[in-house]
Amino acid sequence: MSVSMQFNHKRLQSDFNALATIGATAEGGVNRPALSPAHLEARAWYAAQVKQAGLALQIDGAGNHSALLRSPNPSAPTLLLGSHLDSVPEGGRYDGALGVVAALEVLRSIQEAGLNLPVHLEAIDFTDEEGTLVGFIGSGALAGTLTPGDLQNPRGGREALLAGLTRAGLTEDGLFTARRDPATLAGYLELHIEQGPWLYDSGVDIGVVSGIVGIASFRLAFSGRANHAGTTPMAARRDAGLGAAAFILAARQLVLDNFPGCVANVGALRLEPGAFNIIPGRAELALECRAVDPAELDRLQTSLLERAQREAESFGLGLEVSALGQHAPAPMSQLAQQAIQEAAAELGLSSQSMPSGAGHDAQNLAPLCPTGMVFIPSVDGISHSPHETSRWDDCINGANVLLGAALRLAGSSDCA
């Protein structure tokens, strides 16, 4: 059987469009934070698609939803394909969703072709990839890297986590039953939009991901003294907002000057009590920093936290730092990269090896089994925005490459 099967493009597009209506926003994106009603609605939709396709549905203790196409060999390992149906708040339609519907389409196409593989195929939707609750709950639970400690002070807050688990019918203890024995895994492949400008600007069709960035998250709280905004002399203030503002600017300059290729972001800032006429006594900010190299990620976060302390002292402020989770950088497997590159070449598509500045579930799977990611161009590099979009031809290319790479990784031999 040739490994360059094609598949039902129309069905993929109708799935994608149907999914994009769930949690749709007026601006053209989606709002499906992990375990929110919209996210659970998307999962129910996915489950219905799986059943309609005559595939087995599996939901594990971490809420990961999977379609299964079993090999005739019951003791065969499982090749995982997939991504995530949750989104960032006010996000885009492609991030995660494309990878899940493409993975399902690969299973349906192989099933309809009557191809028997030496592996079970599983199209999985991972829980909380975006970290609006914890970050990588589903893939971390499956990989055995999620710990009870991760659930105590998560970046989305413990209350939101417990509410989400309850809404989804999940329990903290149940999350840890999702762990898989790595010996049962033949590999993991994920199709994803690049979420940056490189492929789109360079005109390359396919990105073959070489490695995924490491991510460290912190909550910083600058504390000063709330006071009257009108009667307190400017020189006598302990304004927590000044410490936070000075740190945000200093963090940007520190990364630009000393950490080429790394990033830092303050994605949320809250001033308390938060009134026009009160000097903010407290300023809380959400800090995230990323680096491809583990040692550099350590140096980066140390430098940022030292700088935060200096800014706090310069404005007479206190500083509390809460570490909210860290995900190690992960190299992709040579085997998977080669399968992706060959599948692209066979389809006459240009491809280029490239790192991922975005985090992905694949970084949890990489230490367990041969893991790879297929990137397609993001128009103008926009993502985590309702204006995130990709050309549909690129989506088809990506799904075809996912199919070809899956057949290669699965040994592509008919084992009937």
Residues near ligand HGY (CB under 6 A): 95, 129-130, 358-359
What length is written for the chain? 416
For residue 361, the minimal CB distance to Mn ion (Å) is: 8
Find the shortest distance in angstroms from Cβ 406 to ligand HGY.
23
Q: How many residues line the site for Mn ion (CB under 5 A)?
A: 2
Task: Give, for 248, the enclosing helix (H) or strand (E).
Answer: helix 240-258
Report the residue number, 130 or 239, with the smaller CB distance to ligand HGY: 130
Among ligand HGY, Mn ion, none, what binds residue 82 when CB lies within 5 to 8 Å by partner kind? Answer: none
Give Cα 174 to chain centroid, integer Å.
22
**Count of H-run helices and E-run strands, the chain:** 12, 15
**Matching residue, tokens 């995230």:** 288
Q: What's the min distance (Å) between Cβ of 155 and ligand HGY?
A: 11
Q: What is the DSSP letter of 14?
A: H
**Residue 388 engages Mn ion in binding (rule: CB under 5 A):** no
Q: Cα 42–113–186 angle (5° rounding)?
A: 65
Backbone angles phi, psi at 118, to 5 degrees: -80, 15
CB-based closest residue to ligand HGY: 358
What, of Mn ion, ligand HGY, none, does residue 150 touch, CB below 5 to 8 Å by kind?
Answer: none
Shortest distance (Å) from residue 327 CB to ligand HGY: 9
* 84 or 408: CB nearest Mn ion: 84
Quote the DSSP letter at residue 362. Answer: H
Nearer Cβ to Mn ion, position 96 or 207? 96
Contact flag: residue 361 with Mn ion (CB under 5 A): no
Least gap, CB of 388 to Mn ion (angstroms) = 9
Nearer to ligand HGY, 77 or 207 (CB): 207
Residue nearer to ligand HGY on the CB measure, 53 or 362: 362
DSSP sequence for 213-230:
-EEEEEEEEEE---EETT
* Minimum distance from residue 13 beta carbon to ligand HGY (Å): 23
Cis (ω within 30 of 0) for the bond into 367?
no
Burial, 354: exposed, middle or buried (Cβ in 10 Å; 0-12, 13-18, 19+)? Answer: buried
Residue 239 binds which entry of Mn ion, ligand HGY, none, CB below 5-8 Å type-dependent: none
Q: Rounded to 5 degrees, what are φ and ψ at 192?
A: -150, 150
**Which residue's CB is nearer to Mn ion, number 131 or number 404?**
131
Please state the closest distance from residue 129 (CB atom) to ligand HGY, in A.
6
Cβ atoms of 57 and 65 within 8 Å: the answer is yes
Tell me if 96 contacts Mn ion by CB under 5 A: yes
Closest CA to 388 of 19, 91, 32, 98: 91
Q: Which of 15, 60, 86, 95 binds Mn ion (CB under 5 A)?
A: 95
Q: In angstroms, give the least distance from the CB of 378 to ligand HGY.
A: 11
Query: Could you report how far apart the first and last alpha carbons of the chain are, in Å?
Result: 12
Q: How far apart are CA 100 and CA 126, in angstroms?
A: 9
Spatial distance between the Cα atoms of 295 and 279, rounded to a whole number of angstroms: 39
Q: Which is nearer to ligand HGY, 243 or 359 (CB)?
A: 359
Nearest one of 64, 29, 31, 71 to 47, comparing CA atoms: 64
Nearer Cβ to Mn ion, position 96 or 241?
Answer: 96
359 binds, among ligand HGY, Mn ion, none (CB under 5 to 8 A by kind): ligand HGY
Interface stretch with Mn ion, choices 60-68, 93-101, 229-237, 390-398 (CB under 5 A): 93-101
Q: Binding residues for Mn ion, per CB under 5 A?
A: 95-96
